[in-house]
Amino acid sequence: MENIGQTLGEALQGRGNVVMVRVNDDTLAHLDMLVEAELARSRSEAAALLIGEGMKANVPLFERIRQITDQIAALRGQLRQSVQDEESVDQKTEGAE
């Protein structure tokens, strides 16, 4: 089992992206608890830790979401291609008249 230091270290790796987020009072209190306990140096670190842990705890859900979003992207591509093909046929028909 990982200790909190390892978990925090993993959560803080590659933190080059910034996300602004609004949280409720309860969430803020939990972030502050992590900072006050010196498990995180800042609210930002605490939030990164909690987000990372939430993702780990829900791997099957995120895998399913990825599958579905991939299917949606493929369908959008098919739709775009169908529209382009239809426009191409229409242009050829108009040019032949």
For 90, which DSSP code?
H
| Integer Cα distance of 87 and 94 in angstroms | 10
Write down the pLDDT at residue 11.
66
Which among 62, 31, 76, 26 is positioned nearest to 49, based on CA atoms? 31
* pTM assigned to the model: 0.66
Question: What distance in Å separates the CA atoms of residue 55 and residue 32, rounded to the nearest whole number?
Answer: 21
Q: Where are the domains of the chain?
A: 1-57, 58-97
Question: Which residue is associated with the tokens 């046929």?
Answer: 89
pLDDT tens digit string along 30-60? 999 999 999 999 999 999 999 999 999 999 9
The vertex-10 CA angle with 34 and 37, nearest 5°, equals 15
d(CA 29, CA 38): 14
